[in-house]
């Protein structure tokens, strides 16, 4: 599972992504089964659930977030808390159906204590599962929700404020777009022009246009 990606961003120039993945899975179901008993990192000691995915495995649009929160840990599903409910409304605003049109997962599959940001070793421990999800789903469009997802998938440290709303080339002719995480939008309620919520509205309209173009 090797990814070759040349990224160009306004602030840092050219980046090359070549993450390593020693694990190979025969299917998405086998990947989920392996994740369900995973003990690669200490997050396995405090989790209630392994939160693997939600949505349609045949979707053209994949959404990758940071990691499970309390509600996700309790239910075993990603993006079901307040941030997830906002994500659902954002998608619905441009007639994207969460269950039919998207496949949703996270960088890490277990909840970090107190909803802290996953550290680098935790993200790396979970990376084989994420790589396998990307390979088996084969999405044409990928949204990276928040800085943690951007850093884990693209391995760049550019501020999301500079990267959001832009499409970057990915493997297998897919495209990725960084977007603000819904939890960030919950903390920034303004809808004025130029605000995070206003920018998110521009971004999700671009996602809708991109989806329409590949149908």
Residue 158: count other Cβ atoms within 10 Å of its Cβ: 18
Phi, psi of 127 (to 5 degrees): -60, -35
pLDDT tens column, 157-204: 889 999 999 999 998 899 999 999 999 999 998 999 999 999 999 999
pLDDT tens column, 80-134: 999 999 999 999 999 999 999 999 999 999 999 999 999 999 999 999 999 999 9
Q: Domain locations in the chain? A: 5-213
Which two tokens mark 201? 């509205």
Which two tokens mark 108? 């890490």
CATH topology of domain 5-213: Uracil-DNA Glycosylase, subunit E (3.40.470)
Q: What angle separates helix 82-92 from helix 196-213, to the nearest 10 degrees? A: 50
Residue 42: count other Cβ atoms within 10 Å of its Cβ: 15
What are the residues facing 183 on neighbouring strands?
none
Q: What share of the chain is helix, strand, coil (3-state, %, to 5)?
A: 45, 15, 40
């Amino acid at each position: 599972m090797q990814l070759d990606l040349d990224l160009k961003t306004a602030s840092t120039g050219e980046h090359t992504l070549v993450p390593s993945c020693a694990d190979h899975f025969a299917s998405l179901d086998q990947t989920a089964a392996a994740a369900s008993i995973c003990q690669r990192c200490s997050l396995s000691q405090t989790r209630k659930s392994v939160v693997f995915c939600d949505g349609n495995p045949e979707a053209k649009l994949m959404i990758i977030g940071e990691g499970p929160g309390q509600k996700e840990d309790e239910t075993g599903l990603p993006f079901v808390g307040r941030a997830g409910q906002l994500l659902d409304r954002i998608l619905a605003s441009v007639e994207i159906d969460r269950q039919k049109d998207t496949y949703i997962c996270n960088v890490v599959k277990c909840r970090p204590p107190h909803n802290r940001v996953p550290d680098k070793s935790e993200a790396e421990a979970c990376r084989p599962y994420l790589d396998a999800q990307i390979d088996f789903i084969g999405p044409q469009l990928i949204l990276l929700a928040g800085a943690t997802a951007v850093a884990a998938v693209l391995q760049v440290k550019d501020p999301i404020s500079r990267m959001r709303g832009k499409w970057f080339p990915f493997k297998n002719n897919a495209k990725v777009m960084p977007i603000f995480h819904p939890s960030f939008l919950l903390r920034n309620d303004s809808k004025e022009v130029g605000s995070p919520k206003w920018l998110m509205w521009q971004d999700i309209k671009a996602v809708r246009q991109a989806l329409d173009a590949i149908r």
